[in-house]
Structure 1
Amino acid sequence: MKPSTILFLASVLVLAGLPLWWPDPYVLSVVGSAGIFIVAAISLNLLLGYTGQLSLGHVAFFGIGAYTSALLSLGFDVSLPGLSDPLVMAPQPVWLAFTAGIVVAGLFGWFVGKLAFRVRGAYFVIVTISFAQVMRMVATNWVDLTEGPMALNNIPPLTLWTPGGTVDLVTKAQTYWLVLAVAVLAWLVVAALVHSRTGRAMVALRENETLARSIGVPVTHYLGIAAVGAAAIAGAAGGLYAHTVRIIDPDVFMFMFTITMVIMVIVGGKGTLAGPVVGGLLFGLLPELLRGTLRPEVQWMLYGALMVVILIFMPRGIVPSLAALVRKRPVAKATAPRAAVAGEAT
């Protein structure tokens, strides 16, 4: 078994045991919230880390997944132009609604990708930001469907089937395990994708798109796959958010959420599987560790200083820098005796 596999399994076991050896509801709530944004960061890493496309509107897919899952699980009726009768949707099972949120977010990812991948660089960034702002305006102003600023509340929790019946996942420990399960599944999906032929093509596009085109790599096809996959996983994170917080409003489209995802990916190490997890744990837990200790403005200064220090001394991110350091250690130990022997021979 590879060392990376052993480390992955050990990490999952340790995290899965957290509610058993540290059952504090506050701790589980904080780590669970960080886990939701780690899932979102994993999705962004697929696009930013493996294809090199910076999307600053990635929160749109997070919000689409949240609203789709919430609306379908609650049910709704809305009047649409051209229809004499309102469109009525009865409440759907929560897992069906959650799955639909993933699918709808993926479809929007395909649609935005078809439009945005016609341009590159700053133009791509502008298109993605504009899409996110449009979705926020829709959520704010389409009050008949989304309740606007008044928020959708009483969103049903996700459930688990057991031989004794269906159990609502409402306790902090249950919610934590649910988030952990989705995060592990998202990580495995991305790992399988990036280690496949598709993943190698994505990396080729990131490193040199012109060269990749010259050897026959269909750029738009693989960028589309990355966009759909990233959007679908972000939709899963949004669905988790909706069914665990159980109240959502247009603030789920806040630009700050995208910035949080970008920070997690870049600080942890973009283009690595562990990077979003490490960056997510660091910047997901640090605000809670400092809460009540430092004033908010001092906390923001500390976050900024920490990011600057990390990116100065670890420009590729925490995970790639530590991996390079580990790889160098055996080399130094192996070369030292050779140098001593060479000195004795002279």
Structure 2
Amino acid sequence: MQQAIMSTTTLDTPRLPAARLATVNWSACALALAALLAAPLFMGDYYLHAMVLAMIFLLPALGLNLILGYTGMLSLAQGVFFGIGAYVSALMSIHFGTSFIVNLLVAGLAAGLIALPLGIPALRLRDTSFVMCTLGLVVIAQMVSKNWVDLTRGDMGLSGVPRPRIGFGDWAFTVVQAPEYFYLALVIAALAVLGFVALIRSPAGRCMVAIRDNERLAESLGVPTWTYKLLVFMLSAVFAGLGGSLYAHFSTVVSPLVFQAYYSNTILIIVLGGGVGKIPGAVIGSFVFVAVSEALRITPELRMVIYGIVLLGLVFVFPQGLAPLFERFAARIAGFGSNKEVAK
């Protein structure tokens, strides 16, 4: 009798249908993609240039979001692997004349393979020691790029990196114009986001979250935590290497400046400002913060001061980043229709 009464009892606040929320999320993704596809029709070359940079930095930001948001390890070495990808792609295209697709894939693979021997000792460390170790990698990368003159040409850098060439034979064309770069970056960024989503929604992704929440408990349940952390460290480097390759062919110049802490800091700001451990976090952060940085070029003297004030304001107003704000907005839209149905 008690079970029958409980089965007929309804809660005051109805549960939000997951299917409705998923529909809202996919609809928002479709609208955002449609807006991006139409952007070259309404934007000039300068704004397209800024959006290309946003999509380039989105790639290493996805890697950092993977290792920080889904495994709980803060790495400051994303800029290192970004630079490695840029140098590998530039050297291959200059000395061997390989195609852009080959350079892109090899740059990502090279960054991941270099991360393997670096991650084996680094991941034995914990918390702040691991952060300091990754910061040390930044310093080492800067010194190697400046002093290995025979390979990197030192401070002179590598210039004349060929523009991306897409296709085969008579059907191949060289990417030169800003709209062409924009669509190329959009395709690569979209594929990277899809790969990121597929990874974190897989059983491996659930193991990563378990390690982040309670590493000892995950290990006691049979999860090979150290192996997973090493794989995540390598995968985050692969994302950064892909971004570096695209950057090299976009700027056509690669120098030791690419290993500066500025790049690692920018990637970190994108992830923290967008929302750590959130699927749309890196996407939102890359477009918002690159847009803010470019918009502040109108005041070069106060640019960094205003940028710092914006970051401080964001920390106090949106301490968890911008992604939760968009998620709450989507949930409210999805719940609006269901609330009306319950009212009837």
TM-score range relative to shorter protein: 0.7 to 0.9
Give yes or no for contact 2:100–2:166 (8 Å, CA) kept in 1. no
Which residue is 1:253 aligned to?
Answer: 259
| Pairing partner for 1:304 from 273, 288, 308 | 308
**Matches of 1:169 and 1:205 in 2, distance apart?**
42
Moved more, 186-195 or 160-169: 160-169
| Pairing partner for 1:13 from 9, 28, 34 | 34
Structure 2 residue runs without a partner (length 5+)? 1-21
TM superposition shift of 1:295: 4.1
Match of 1:51, SS state, is coil
What letter is aligned with 1:311?
A: V
| Pairing partner for 2:93 from 70, 73, 78 | 73
TM superposition shift of 1:181: 1.0
User: Structure 1 residues 322 and 28, CA, compared in 2 at 3 Å: closer, same or farther?
Assistant: closer
Give yes or no for contact 1:69–1:100 (8 Å, CA) kept in 2. yes
Which residue is 1:31 aligned to?
Answer: 51
| Pairing partner for 1:213 from 212, 216, 219 | 219
TM alignment of 1:169-188, pairs within 5 A: 169-188=175-194
Which residue is 2:70 aligned to?
Answer: 50
Matched, 1:128 2:134: yes
TM superposition shift of 1:9: 2.4
TM superposition shift of 1:163: 7.7
Give yes or no for contact 2:274–2:283 (8 Å, CA) kept in 1. yes
TM superposition shift of 1:325: 5.3
**Matches of 1:270 and 1:287 in 2, distance apart?**
20
TM superposition shift of 1:289: 1.4
Output the aligned Cα RMSD. 2.1
User: Structure 1 residues 113 and 235, CA, compared in 2 at 3 Å: closer, same or farther?
Assistant: same
TM superposition shift of 1:302: 2.1
Which residue is 1:276 aligned to?
Answer: 282
User: Structure 1 residues 137 and 156, CA, compared in 2 at 3 Å: closer, same or farther?
Assistant: same
- Give the alignment's TM-score, normalised by structure 1: 0.87
**Matches of 2:147 and 2:275 in 1, distance apart?**
38
**Matches of 1:254 and 1:137 in 2, distance apart?**
11
**Matches of 2:314 and 2:281 in 1, distance apart?**
13
TM superposition shift of 1:305: 2.1
**Matches of 2:33 and 2:118 in 1, distance apart?**
34
Q: Deviations over 1:213-249 (max 9, x none)?
A: 1211110121122111110010000000101100110
User: Structure 1 residues 212 and 26, CA, compared in 2 at 3 Å: closer, same or farther?
Assistant: same
Which residue is 2:320 aligned to?
Answer: 316
TM superposition shift of 1:212: 1.2
Match of 2:70, SS state, is helix
TM alignment of 1:142-181, pairs within 5 A: 142-161=148-167, 164-181=170-187
**Matches of 1:254 and 1:10 in 2, distance apart?**
36
TM superposition shift of 1:316: 1.2
Match of 1:217, SS state, is coil
What letter is aligned with 2:239?
A: I
Which residue is 2:7 aligned to?
Answer: none
TM superposition shift of 1:2: 3.0
TM superposition shift of 1:288: 1.6
**Matches of 1:334 and 1:25 in 2, distance apart?**
45
Q: Percent identity?
A: 34
What letter is aligned with 1:38?
A: L
Which residue is 1:285 aligned to?
Answer: 291
Number of paired residues?
320
- Give the alignment's TM-score, normalised by structure 2: 0.87
User: Structure 1 residues 325 and 244, CA, compared in 2 at 3 Å: closer, same or farther?
Assistant: closer
**Matches of 1:163 and 1:156 in 2, distance apart?**
17
What letter is aligned with 2:146?
A: T
**Matches of 2:80 and 2:305 in 1, distance apart?**
28
Give yes or no for contact 2:65–2:276 (8 Å, CA) kept in 1. yes
Give yes or no for contact 1:43–1:229 (8 Å, CA) kept in 2. yes
Matched, 1:234 2:255: no
Give yes or no for contact 1:170–1:244 (8 Å, CA) kept in 2. no
